[in-house]
Structure 1
Amino acid sequence: MFYENPFNIMMLKDKIEKAPERPGVYLLKDKKGKIVYIGKARNLKDRLRAYTTTQEDPRKTSLINRATDLDFIVTNSEVEALILEENLIKINKPKFNVRLKDDKKFPYLKITVQEKYPRIFPTRNLRSDGSILFGPFTSAKALRKALRGVKRIFQIRTCNKKLPNPSPLRPCLNFLMNRCLGPCQGTVPEEIYRERVNNVIAFLQGKENKLCNELEKQMFEASANEDFEKAAILRDQLMALREIMRNQPSFFSDRVARDIFGIAKTDTLAFATRFKVREGKLVGKEEYPLTLAKGTKDSEILESLARSIYTHTFDLPDEVILPVELEEEVAEPLIQWFKAQRDRSVKIYRPQRGAKLRLLNLANSNAEVGLAEIVPVPKIHQANLDLQHFLGLPKPPRIIEGVDISNISGKSATGSIVVFHDYYPYKPDYRLFKIKTVTGPNDYAMMEEVLSRRVKRQIKENKPLADLVLIDGGKGQLSTAIRAYQKTISESGNPIPMPVMLAFAKRTDTLYFEDGRAISIPASSPALKLLKRIRDEAHRFAITYHKKLRGKTLFLSELDGLVGIGEKRKVALIRYFGSLEKLKLATVDEIAKVKLIGKSLAEKIYEYLHET
């Protein structure tokens, strides 16, 4: 593909040559200075040079056609560029970057581990202050459920009191309901509270098996030491955890933490599903509606989503399973970031077989269901719904065609087809036909010719047939139309289903079916008004073309007696003036302006028209 504005490329080339061969982030801007795309690169100059070459990707072509300026920010490493890119995208919301639909900010669970007595609470503020975050939670219900579980099992505080305090504070309702240990009372040793916080972190990471084993060990130790009160508390926590685990489906026998992504998309919308598998069990499902520029690749969507999720959450998996392979230059910064954050390697790949592939396919299926829910569904007009009801159709007819024939004793015969989409005329699909194979007044043969040509063209261009075809006339015209459709479809060899075909009589407004049934739709119904509009529009379209052809015929015959005017000159005159009346009103000089008509011939034409 070629660029619409080569001047843009020249402007950008100058700045690209000044870009350093270092990691960083680049910002492409439009003529108003607005940022339209933010990207990262291991080598800024190499990446930016790629934009100056001819692009096969229509999305990149569209991007460069919009970009008139660029800035770049150099970083120390590609990992730093990854973080900076994510932050800048959240702030600027560029049009050509993948981002959450409606620019949503999903909530996280925040644990203030930097405090002496940490607290847990929901937040949308991702500012770095030493706390750790779990999420994002795309479902508020899932977040509330996780928070209730933490309060019930581990009794961690959720308040914003500043602790420790020199003297005990007034106890809150959570303390009185055994939903908080009450560090504000000054009776909880810091090491015991900190142990609970560590258990919460393990719980939110999905390490229930490890946590259960640890709690069970501590429970038996407390019991052996005759600390029965502590043993009872540990028992209650253990039973609550096992109840949660009982409701989690198991997919794998190993203890590897996995995130499995599924994706579905249209041109401008995408929907991603993330299955969280911890210790072999599916512990959660998160859903992400996304907006994107037309032509965005699946790999770019997944890379943007992974960056958005993992650069904020504490809960990192051991494996990330994707429906498509990421290019090395895309995957490598993520892998490096994982290693820098947790000092461990994370595997990013697409499985080829087995349980992982089955779960990946399930994630994709869930994404398709989610996409169907966010894709706008066009509203169906009441007239189309009424037609479904009165005609007994399985679904409302969305594409309706009207057919009409116009002629005078077989002369200047024309046919028209008008098309309505969801109650409204769709004029790009209107078609006019000049009858070629029929001589004399034979409306049935003309109808067959028009519809045969129409259906052949639709099949050849791989276009869908209408849901409903409305024939102007009675039972005879309907039988001819059905025969034309059946014959043309049969000759094509394609198993194309026949549309519903009806004849619509003018005088009585009666509808005739193929099997001979006849019905009348109530006069007050929007359905009848729609059918009348289609019939009248088809008639108007056909008769306008018929009059035009008839006018040409009269024009040409009027000049038959004039010597020196052949067929080409007659056509030139009609193209220039449009009608015989306008030619008669023209002066000699105006006639002489017509191609192939000189001054002397113009005088002859003028005298001839004004003598007759």
Structure 2
Amino acid sequence: MTHPLKVKLKEAPKTPGVYFWRNQNGEVLYVGRAVNLKNRLSQYFLSNLEPRMAEMVQQAVDLSYIQCESLLEAIVLEAANIKKYWPKYNVVDRDDRSFIYVAINEKSEFPRPIIIRGRELNKFPSDKYKVFGPYQAFYLINTALRLLRRVFPYSTCTPHSGRPCFDYQIGVCPGACVDAIESWEYKKNIKKIMMLLSGDRTRLLKKLEKENPDQARAFRHIQEVSLLSKEEDLSIPRLRRIEGYDISHFQGKESYASMVVFENGEKQGSEYRLFKIKDAPASDDERALLEVLTRRFKHENWPRPDLIMIDGGSPQISFLSRELGRLNIHVAMVGISKFGGDRLVFTKGVSKNFKDLAAVLKPTLLKVREEAHRFANYGRKRAKKQTAIR
């Protein structure tokens, strides 16, 4: 059956923008941004839509959008509306502590944008810091700030150090490190960045065209396509939370499994877990991993991973995918094969877009693997130490 809102695709423009899904009570269910509104919105009517989004679309009775002149503007507008409406399907499976924000200490001599997590907000009091967000993806706002820095340089080095930092040498630091700029002059660029993050792009452009035409031209020509080279595939989950697993053996008898957690590319040490293998045969890593994953998913109060990384090749991935499926545990999974030169290994039938996304995340996945290996060895060494004490 065709969704009644699909007719709105005919009028949707092929421009950047922000879109809103609403239910029968007029409540905003989801806010999203797009490089190309028409292409993005059409994905919501595909048969292989991610389950969470499919559920949202079934509840929706209205779809609207706001066109933007740029993707940067769309990112800022999306954040403002998430903050305003706190939509159910933007925050499902996550709390406000996991969102991304940008904090700027206006009272500092040389302020700079700092990317923080919601759980860190209490460290950035409103009497000192101006906070912008929430943003849904670390990589997106991080890349946006890097691009803005090309037009509005700011310092991340130690002021008055007397040594030129690398960023100063390549033109993205105005020289706080070598006293090449006064604080009042430096803060002009920070105020311009703050204007953009506040949603005042139009006023900012007018100001730039009047005061600094060269900077206005540079700002207009920022290569925003590098922020998001292509639309995200809605048939796959956003890979915010990655869990990595590894097995370590002690004297061929006791085995331990590590679970490490990365969110938006950063370690979450407080969520690490160490499992002692109880039932799997000694040295049977496949059965040990199956046991651990089965036990892990019994903890329904733990945040659900968007992706699981296994230190193993095709046999391990195929086995785990099959056995977990029989237990009605369905989760995206990727393996890293040491014997294949750290080749990424996938379950059968995954989309090319998923493989491309995993390839982009490969540096992070390698970090996850090394951290899982380190933490598993820590468990083994701790067991060895306790045995020696006995």
TM-score (structure 2 length as normaliser)? 0.36
Larger radius of gyration: 1
